[in-house]
């Protein structure tokens, strides 16, 4: 308020000063031009005075020359008398031109008359002299007429001159005042300019000050906003982790319970817990997604994915549910569509899963169909310099369910809105699903609409433009439908050309990858750290990089950043990292990775993952359980817990060295799953474990005795992967997490305690292996 007051004062003064300066400038200019005029006039008057003086002197000269000649009778006195007379006439003409105007016409006539008379009289003396001699001429002179004429001329010219003198002095006086005026104006001008300059400077300084204050405030609020967003992001990541983990455990355990011996009522109760748990997880996921979208934190990925593979996964996911409900799910992709697109397959899956879930939920009998085609007919939009091609994919999810009343069609995409109030009672749900779907479609530059007739069914239609990958893969001996890719001039590669780079320092993990990738007959190379990975990538192209995060020499984040920034490679990179810390996914994605998976990765997950980034039908080499393979992280997590059986359950442990079963600390379900019960592989992994574990324990022990906290943290983190293979993750991840966190705080006593626990358990595990 105070600032604004001063601002207006300064601006008003400045404007005032400018007006005064303009006035003074005008005044000074006028005085100076008056001064110039006055000076010119004064100069003229001086010239006129000189002219009058010359006339007087020329008349007197004529008179004295004639008198001299008469007295001396010597004609030499008048040798140039004609010239002098002419001079007098010229003087008179000039005087008439420059001195007289209308107001002095009388004086002019008088002067002309007197001068003419005087010349006439002089001529008369000369004539008398020549005709009648000296005496006659003297008689004429003595009439005194000549003298009177001369006196009259002198008097008249004096009068004229005097009048002019008065004018000149008036002019000089006004010149004086004009020059004083101009001088004053200059002084005022200088003074006021000075003041204006001062005020302008004050104004500018005030503005600069307030601007720099504003900039500081803006910076500060921007920083706070960023901090708040980061905090919120962190909070969301933590929330999602914290809520999903126990939920997954609940659902996982109900899975295990279902498989056990239950009577009918117990089985119904467990089913109820499971359904409620799944519903709750969906609602939690919806709310988290929704708040992410609201906060503008929903990040879209851009990576190659197989359209048909994604749809197959989704179909598989609903297979059982649809069967149980006696419905029919038909998924169909227009044959002319290419298969590999670049975009966010997870979000696309989420949209379709939501729409199909609704369709199943609201359909009692009949068919649910999903059809994908090109929204613009056979058109492929060429972008940039024709190297990029975009296809506007058209998805239609149609059902033969209860339908939606016409008046509700507009509101069902609003958050928390359901078609009717008894929907919640009958079907449950939060009313968030379609709002998230709409947001996700729009985030991907698409649009969605719905048509429905109550009692007959509904149809949800959405279009999303996706970039086509420039490499399309196709399956051998299955050419007919895919040949149309060629019409799009797309480079066709075969699965044999696919090569995967595994960046992993942990030998156990390397062995595991080797086992899996070899069994799928996939071409791969293992790099033991980021630096080696970069060397490999410089030499040859890979289709996918599976990247560990914590590694010696160069960690996964740095390696990814270098691959993106220095090598300028867009190769998909997937992080595979031990025990997910909250926010880890976001960190990986912001480092430039395309996807993130927590270790220990399961075989099915790895297959789905690879199929998302390279092509996948060829993967059917291996007899995968016909359960769903999904891209949706939460479902994957449920699945993984369900399959692993969870800690504390009655596990089927593999034979140890003596072929006996044991239920002590070791749990080999994971190795069994992965190897499909291949005992050689399990034995070799156990050998590897027992060779690696004591070394890792010794290294950690050394690092603690120094203590080198950075090393402690890295070693503890790494150990998590090793122990997970033999089912020690549930018992050892908590103390290892404790060590990691305590290393950050440099809390050596906590580290020591946790280390003792780790060491004891590991020793116990080793004993079990070698027993
Ligand atoms: P909800 O979690 O309640 O299912 P949604 O946002 O997914 O929330 O759906 C909002 C409402 O739209 C539903 O409650 C239902 O009334 C209606 N709806 C959505 N899909 C269908 C469908 N396929 N058939 C009939 N009604 C539907």
Model pLDDT for residues 476-490, shown as the tens digit of each residue: 333 333 333 333 343
Structure tokens at 645: 């059986």
Q: For residues 449 and 390, what is the distance between their CA atoms, to the nearest angstrom? A: 21
Determine if ligand 1 sits within 6 Å of the CB of residue 412: yes
Give the containing element (helix H, strand E) for 761: helix 748-770
Ligand 1 atom nearest to CA at 434? 6
Structure tokens at 293: 């979208």
User: What angle separates helix 679-705 from helix 507-519, to the nearest 10 degrees?
Assistant: 160
- Condensed to tens digits (0 to 9), the pLDDT of residues 33-87 reads 888 888 888 788 888 888 888 888 888 888 888 888 888 888 788 888 888 889 8
357 CA from centroid of ligand 1 (Å): 9
Q: What is the DSSP string of 73-115?
A: T-GGGGTTHHHHHHHHHHHHHHHHHHT--GGGHHHHHHHHHHH
- Condensed to tens digits (0 to 9), the pLDDT of residues 95-104 reads 888 777 777 7
List the residue whose alpha carbon is closest to atom 11 of ligand 1: 418
- The four Cα atoms 549, 555, 559, 562 give a dihedral, to 10 degrees, of 130
**Which pLDDT does position 474 carry in this prediction?**
41
Label residue 520 by pLDDT band (50, 70, 90). Answer: confident
Q: What is the mean pLDDT of residues 604-608?
A: 75
Please measure the distance between the N-terminal and C-terminal CA atoms of the chain and give it in whole angstroms: 85
Report whether the peptide linkage leading into residue 372 is cis, meaning its omega lies within 30 degrees of zero: no
Q: Is the pLDDT of residue 638 over 50?
A: no
- The four Cα atoms 621, 625, 630, 635 give a dihedral, to 10 degrees, of -150
Q: What is the mean pLDDT of residues 276-295?
A: 79
Determine if ligand 1 sits within 6 Å of the CB of residue 157: no
Q: For residues 551 and 554, what is the distance between their CA atoms, to the nearest angstrom? A: 6
**Which pLDDT does position 321 carry in this prediction?**
85
- Phi and psi at residue 374, in whole multiples of 5°? -90, 120
403 CA from centroid of ligand 1 (Å): 9
List the residue whose alpha carbon is closest to atom 23 of ligand 1: 359
Q: Is the pLDDT of residue 583 over 80?
A: no
Determine if ligand 1 sits within 6 Å of the CB of residue 356: no
Exposure string for 255-281, b = 16+ CB within 10 A, e = fewer: bbbeeeeeeeeeeeebeebbeebbeeb
- Phi and psi at residue 502, in whole multiples of 5°? -105, 120
Cβ contacts of residue 354 below 8 Å, gap of 6+?
433, 434, 436, 437
Structure tokens at 670: 């994971």
Instruction: State which of 367, 433, 457 you would mutate to test the pocket of ligand 1, scoring each by most atoms of that ligand within 8 A of its C-beta.
Output: 433
Report whether the peptide linkage leading into residue 603 is cis, meaning its omega lies within 30 degrees of zero: no
Determine if ligand 1 sits within 6 Å of the CB of residue 484: no
Q: Can you tell me which residue has the tokens 């503008």? A: 296
**Which pLDDT does position 631 carry in this prediction?**
30
**Which pLDDT does position 385 carry in this prediction?**
59
List the residue whose alpha carbon is closest to atom 14 of ligand 1: 418
Structural contact between residues 53 and 46, judged by C-beta atoms closer than 8 angstroms = no
Give the containing element (helix H, strand E) for 170: helix 145-259
**Which pLDDT does position 619 carry in this prediction?**
40
Task: Name which of 536, 95, 498, 519 is nearest 306 in CA terms.
Answer: 498
Ligand 1 atom nearest to CA at 420? 16
Cβ contacts of residue 703 below 8 Å, gap of 6+?
711, 712, 715
Instruction: Determine if the pTM surpasses 0.75.
Output: no
Ligand 1 atom nearest to CA at 401? 24
Task: Name which of 465, 514, 472 is nearest 493 in CA terms.
Answer: 472
Strand partners, 387: none
Structural contact between residues 61 and 32, judged by C-beta atoms closer than 8 angstroms = no
Quickly count: other Cβ atoms within 10 Å of residue 122's Cβ: 23
- Burial class of residue 554 (count of CB atoms within 10 Å of its CB; 0-12, 13-18, 19+): middle
Q: Which residue has the higher pLDDT, 272 or 380?
A: 272
Q: Is the pLDDT of residue 415 over 60?
A: yes
Q: For residues 577 and 588, what is the distance between their CA atoms, to the nearest angstrom? A: 10
Q: What is the mean pLDDT of residues 561-589?
A: 78
**Which pLDDT does position 6 carry in this prediction?**
75
> What is the SS3 assignment for 502?
strand
**Which 8-state DSSP code applies to residue 497?**
G
Q: What is the DSSP string of 707-742?
A: T-HHHHHHHHHHHHHHHHHTT-HHHHHHHHHHHHHH
Ligand 1 atom nearest to CA at 432? 6
Q: For residues 665 and 643, what is the distance between their CA atoms, to the nearest angstrom? A: 19
- Condensed to tens digits (0 to 9), the pLDDT of residues 643-680 reads 333 333 333 333 343 444 445 788 888 888 777 777 77
Q: What is the mean pLDDT of residues 513-523?
A: 81
Q: For residues 305 and 178, what is the distance between their CA atoms, to the nearest angstrom? A: 91
- Mean pLDDT is lowest, of 213-217, 543-547, 636-640, 762-766, for 636-640
* Average pLDDT over all residues of the chain: 79
447 CA from centroid of ligand 1 (Å): 18
267 CA from centroid of ligand 1 (Å): 29
**Which pLDDT does position 594 carry in this prediction?**
83
- Phi and psi at residue 446, in whole multiples of 5°? -110, -175
> What is the SS3 assignment for 306?
strand
Task: Name which of 498, 466, 458 is nearest 394 in CA terms.
Answer: 466
Determine if ligand 1 sits within 6 Å of the CB of residue 451: no
Give me the numbers of helices (H) and strands (E) for the chain, helices first please: 22, 15
């Amino acid at each position: 308020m105070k600032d604004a007051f001063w601002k207006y004062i300064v601006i008003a003064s400045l404007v005032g000063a400018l007006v005064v300066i303009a006035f003074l400038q005008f005044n000074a200019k006028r005085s100076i031009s008056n001064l110039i005029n006055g000076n010119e006039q004064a100069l003229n008057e001086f010239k006129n005075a000189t002219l009058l003086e010359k006339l007087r002197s020329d008349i007197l000269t004529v008179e004295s020359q004639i008198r001299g000649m008469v007295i001396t009778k010597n004609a030499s006195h008048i040798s140039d008398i004609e010239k002098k007379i002419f001079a007098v006439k010229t003087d008179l003409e000039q005087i008439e031109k420059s001195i007289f105007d209308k107001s002095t016409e009388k004086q002019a006539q008088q002067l002309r008359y007197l001068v003419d008379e005087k010349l006439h009289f002089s001529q008369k003396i000369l004539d008398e002299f020549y005709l009648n001699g000296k005496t006659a001429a003297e008689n004429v002179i003595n009439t005194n007429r000549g003298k009177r004429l001369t006196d009259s001329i002198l008097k008249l010219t004096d009068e004229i001159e005097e009048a002019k003198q008065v004018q000149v002095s008036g002019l000089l006086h006004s010149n004086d005042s004009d020059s004083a005026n101009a001088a004053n104006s200059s002084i005022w001008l200088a003074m006021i300019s000075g003041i204006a300059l001062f005020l302008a400077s004050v104004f500018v300084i005030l503005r600069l000050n307030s601007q720099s204050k504003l900039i500081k405030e803006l910076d500060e609020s921007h920083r706070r906003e960023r901090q708040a967003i980061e905090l919120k992001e962190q909070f969301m990541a933590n929330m999602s982790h914290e809520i999903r983990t126990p939920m997954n455990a609940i659902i996982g355990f109900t899975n295990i319970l279902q498989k056990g011996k239950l009577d009918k009522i117990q089985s119904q109760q467990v089913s109820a817990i499971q359904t409620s748990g799944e519903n709750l997880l969906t609602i939690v996921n919806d709310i988290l997604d929704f708040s992410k979208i609201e906060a503008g934190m929903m990040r879209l990925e851009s990576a190659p994915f197989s359209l048909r593979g994604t749809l197959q996964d989704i179909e598989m996911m609903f297979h059982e549910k649809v069967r149980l409900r006696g419905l029919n799910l038909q998924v169909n992709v227009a044959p002319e569509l290419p298969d590999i697109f670049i975009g966010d397959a997870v979000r696309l899956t989420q949209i379709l899963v939501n729409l199909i879930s609704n369709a199943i939920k609201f359909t009692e009998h009949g068919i649910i169909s999903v059809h994908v085609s090109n929204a613009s007919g056979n058109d492929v939009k060429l972008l940039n310099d024709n190297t990029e091609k975009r296809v506007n994919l058209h998805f239609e999810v149609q059902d033969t369910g209860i339908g939606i009343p016409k008046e509700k069609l507009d509101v069902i995409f609003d958050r928390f809105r359901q078609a009717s109030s008894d929907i919640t009672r009958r079907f449950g749900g939060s009313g968030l699903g379609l709002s998230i779907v709409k947001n996700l479609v729009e985030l991907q530059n698409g649009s969605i609409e719905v048509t429905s007739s109550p009692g007959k069914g509904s149809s949800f239609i959405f279009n999303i433009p996706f970039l086509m990958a420039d490499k399309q893969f196709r399956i051998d001996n299955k050419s007919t439908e895919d040949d149309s890719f060629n019409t799009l001039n797309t480079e066709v590669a075969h699965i044999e050309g696919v090569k995967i780079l595994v960046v992993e320092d942990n030998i156990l993990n390397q062995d595991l990858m080797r086992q899996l990738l070899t069994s799928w007959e996939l071409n791969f190379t293992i790099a033991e750290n980021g630096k080696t990975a970069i060397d490999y990538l410089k030499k040859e192209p890979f289709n996918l990089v599976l990247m560990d995060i914590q590694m010696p020499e160069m960690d996964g984040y740095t390696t990814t950043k270098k691959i993106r920034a220095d090598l300028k490679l867009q190769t998909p990179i997937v992080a595979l990292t031990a025990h997910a810390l909250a926010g880890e996914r976001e960190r990986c994605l912001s480092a430039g990775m395309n996807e993130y998976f927590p270790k220990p990765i399961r075989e099915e997950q790895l297959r789905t993952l690879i199929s998302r980034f390279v092509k996948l039908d060829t993967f059917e080499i291996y007899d995968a359980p016909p359960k769903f393979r999904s891209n949706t992280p939460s479902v994957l997590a449920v699945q993984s817990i369900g399959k692993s059986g969870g800690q504390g359950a009655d596990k089927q442990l593999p034979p140890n060295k003596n072929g006996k079963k044991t239920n002590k600390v070791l749990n080999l379900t994971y190795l069994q799953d992965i190897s499909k019960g291949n005992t050689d592989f399990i034995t070799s992994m156990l050998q590897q474990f027992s060779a690696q574990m004591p070394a890792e324990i010794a290294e950690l022990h050394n690092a603690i005795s120094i203590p080198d906290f950075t090393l402690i943290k890295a070693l503890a983190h790494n150990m998590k992967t090793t122990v997970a293979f033999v089912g020690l993750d549930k018992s050892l991840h908590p103390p290892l997490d404790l060590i990691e966190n305590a290393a950050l705080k440099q809390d050596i006593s906590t580290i020591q305690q946790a280390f003792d626990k780790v060491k004891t358990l590991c020793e116990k595990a080793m004993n079990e292996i070698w027993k």
